[in-house]
Amino acid sequence: MQQTGSSTIKFFNGEQIPVELHKVRIVQKLYLRPIDERLAAINKGGFNTFLLNTKDVFLDMLTDSGTNAMSDNQLSSMMHADDAYAGSQSFYKMEKAIQDVFGKKYVLPVHQGRAAENIISKSFIKEGDVIPMNYHFTTTKAHMELNGGKVFEIYTEEALKIKSSYPFKGNLDINKLKSLIKKYGRENIPFIRLEASTNLIGGQPFSIANMREVRKVADENSIFMLLDASLIGENAYWISQREEEFKHTPIKEILQTMCGLCDLVYFSSRKVSSSRGGGICTNNKDLFLKMRELIPLFEGFLTYGGMSVREIEAMAVGLYETTDETVISQSPSFIKYIVDDLDKSGIPVITPAGGLGCHIDAMGFLPQVPQEQYPAGALAAALYIISGCRGMERGTISSERDKDGKDILADMELLRLAFPRRVFTLSQTKFLIDRIKWLYLNRELVGGLEFVEEPSVLRFFMGKLKPVSDWTEKLVAKFKEDFGDSL
Ligand SMILES: *Cc1c(COP(=O)(O)O)cnc(C)c1O
């Protein structure tokens, strides 16, 4: 029998294969360029995958943000959007969708996830505050620090291990939470933040059991709980697969349980509803009123919040679709397929599979590349050259330098291959796996990178690098030897 909530289906030959439970009716042409053109493109882009043009990219796995496929129902809803500055019917549809899916009465629209972080940080954080969380997200931390807060990541010991069979690496460490409250005082802790499917540590979920423990501590200390629900669908899916109590619970109920344990929920619609925009919701009128006055100032009037009415319509439909098992299981099922296959082949990849993409451990993959020469950046460039697949460096390049100009070496050097929802097929997935395996066999050919143009802030977006030796030529020569004229 097919497992509830999974699009992984058992084949007669015994294999478990993720199957696309949708049909493709609008397509976009992709370009798989010859390897010499890919080499030229990455050279032009300064060995930074952010600087590639998608006309040179085959499988774009840079991010899942705003790149998920929309459904026929989402697209058609956009056609009857109600253009109005105030009181748009589209907004009331979206408000109802948020109330139905997240179970919260008061709703505020924002133009994207980080805008919600701005509103929440401005409303609740004062100078010197301390914010405990399972793990930070780049924009979250920036907004909290901008408002004088300090972020404390109190993840469990399992969280940063590459290889693990621990099902909930996104859990918050309860003992660390208690000592943090004791040390800083609950009056200096505006809220506890939980991030569903912790983005930066491999899309790893937390359990509802863990949420309940956090809730207990929050109640004992009268601190409210904030949920970043940008990747809540995938977290709920993993709960349905891995948490005994919820194995037969519909996703819709798991979502309600998760949100029910938190006082305030915000999300980026670019992820959770395969559309654009974002939102904040709560059942607490005081919290709502405090944030509400900032919306017209930073986002726009209360019935559009910086979004177009078309985006609002697509969000309303997309939120309901997030509660559909066959929709929400799609991307994690494919991610699990990639992760399990690579892991079986001895390729260092973060296990167990998470909810955002496949994360390859570049230090394990390229032990010959010192961390000062950016192994994750080198691996991202090498994979692009040999496959046309674009991932994102999440390592030291994404970090910064200290006051003396020395690199702050990252905890982990990861190549993230995001897997947007319902965008790629199984044969494309197999192509990716095949090329990663080839690269692993030929990994000793890959060398490091060095900066040639380095912006002082967020250097990973616009910085340019070059190889430290002639390793790219050698890699291309070996590829041609093995694949001939094939792409
Ligand atoms: C993407 C993301 C955000 C920010 O959302 P944007 O819409 O990109 O501004 C916040 N939190 C998490 C967990 C995310 O993945």
CA distances from 308 to 75, 81, 116, 121 (A): 14, 9, 17, 24
User: β-pairing, 224-228 with 191-195?
Assistant: parallel
Q: Is the CB of 112 under 6 A from ligand 1?
A: yes
Proportion of the chain above pLDDT 70, given as a percent:
99
Q: Which atom of ligand 1 is nearest to the CA of 198?
A: 13
Quote the pTM value. 0.94
Query: Given pLDDT bands bounded at 50, 70 and 90, which one contains residue 2?
Result: very low
Instruction: Delineate the domains of the chain, giving CATH numbers in brackets.
Output: 8-64+327-483 (3.90.1150.10), 85-323 (3.40.640.10)
Name the residue at shortest CA distance from atom 3 of ligand 1: 113
CA 13–ligand 1 middle distance (angstroms): 40
Name the residue at shortest CA distance from atom 4 of ligand 1: 113
Nearest to 190 by CA among 284, 116, 283, 120: 120
- For residues 419 and 31, what is the distance between their CA atoms, to the nearest angstrom? 18
- For residues 331 and 419, what is the distance between their CA atoms, to the nearest angstrom? 6
User: pLDDT higher for 73 or 200?
Assistant: 73
Q: What is the pLDDT of residue 7?
A: 85
Q: Ligand 1 pocket test: pick from 131, 133, 137, 266 the residue with the most ligand atoms within 8 Å of its Cβ.
A: 137
Q: Ligand 1 pocket test: pick from 62, 64, 65 the residue with the most ligand atoms within 8 Å of its Cβ.
A: 65
Name the residue at shortest CA distance from atom 8 of ligand 1: 113
Degrees to nearest 5, angle at CA 137 with 57 and 260: 115
The average pLDDT across 396-415 equals 91
Q: Which two tokens stand for residue 68?
A: 């998920």
Question: Cα 419 to the chain's mean position, in Å?
Answer: 9
Calculate the average pLDDT of the chain. Answer: 95
Name the residue at shortest CA distance from atom 14 of ligand 1: 230
CA 137–ligand 1 middle distance (angstroms): 7
Q: Which atom of ligand 1 is nearest to the CA of 115?
A: 9
Residue 260 has pLDDT above 60, yes or no: yes
Beta bridge partners of 193: 133, 226
Q: What is the pLDDT of residue 5?
A: 54
The answer to whether 349 touches 336, Cβ cutoff 8 Å, is no
Name the residue at shortest CA distance from atom 10 of ligand 1: 113
CA 117–ligand 1 middle distance (angstroms): 9
The answer to whether 236 touches 272, Cβ cutoff 8 Å, is no
The residues annotated with a catalytic role in the active site are 85, 137-138, 228, 271, 394, 460
Q: What are phi and psi of 127, to 5 degrees?
A: -50, 130
At 140-166, the pLDDT tens digits run 999 999 999 999 999 999 999 999 999
At 212-225, the pLDDT tens digits run 999 999 999 999 99
Q: Is the CB of 341 under 6 A from ligand 1?
A: no
Q: Which two tokens stand for residue 5?
A: 């909530």
CA 63–ligand 1 middle distance (angstroms): 11
Whether omega before 370 lies within 30 degrees of 0, making that bond cis, reads: no
Residue 175 has pLDDT above 50, yes or no: yes
Query: Given pLDDT bands bounded at 50, 70 and 90, which one contains residue 400?
Result: confident
Q: Is the CB of 271 under 6 A from ligand 1?
A: yes
At 181-199, the pLDDT tens digits run 999 999 999 999 999 999 8
CA 413–ligand 1 middle distance (angstroms): 21
At 85-107, the pLDDT tens digits run 999 999 999 999 999 999 999 99
Q: Which atom of ligand 1 is nearest to the CA of 269?
A: 7
Query: Given pLDDT bands bounded at 50, 70 and 90, which one contains residue 1?
Result: very low
Return the CA Rg of the chain. 22
The average pLDDT across 219-248 equals 97
Q: Is the CB of 199 under 6 A from ligand 1?
A: yes
Residue 3 has pLDDT above 70, yes or no: no
Name the residue at shortest CA distance from atom 5 of ligand 1: 113
Q: Ligand 1 pocket test: pick from 63, 114, 144, 275 the residue with the most ligand atoms within 8 Å of its Cβ.
A: 114
User: pLDDT higher for 47 or 7?
Assistant: 47
Q: What is the pLDDT of residue 121?
A: 98
At 448-486, the pLDDT tens digits run 999 999 988 889 999 999 999 999 999 999 999 999 988
Q: Is the CB of 170 under 6 A from ligand 1?
A: no
Q: Is the CB of 114 under 6 A from ligand 1?
A: yes
Residue 390 has pLDDT above 60, yes or no: yes
